[in-house]
Amino acid sequence: MTYAVINPRFRITIPKKLRQKTGLKIGDKIAFLNKGEEIIMIKVPEKPLTSMAGSLPTEKNVRILLKTMKQEDKKSEKR
């Protein structure tokens, strides 16, 4: 286990080994989760929604669904 000390301004320095292992760099965002007595730090992806693409199962490809929806919109506009 690695330790960090909270300074008087309530800041901590993430140990170098953890920064290297997780690929943290200046400007990255970190989310904090509180689970009882634990504080969990999670690196927030640069583009959270993009990183989740494909994580939910679908029967059809999203592009196909969007194309179908656009076609249906065009048909309803013609009426």
pLDDT digits (tens, 9 = 90+) for 48-71: 666 566 666 666 677 777 888 788
- The pLDDT of residue 76 is above 80: no
CA-based nearest residue to 24, from 35, 13, 10, 8: 13
Determine the CATH number of domain 1-48: 2.10.260
- Say if residues 50 and 62 touch (Cβ distance below 8 Å): no
Q: Which residue has the higher pLDDT, 44 or 63?
A: 44
Q: Which residue has the higher pLDDT, 51 or 74?
A: 74
Mean pLDDT for the stretch of residues 30-54: 81
User: pLDDT at position 58, please?
Assistant: 65
Domain boundaries, the chain: 1-48
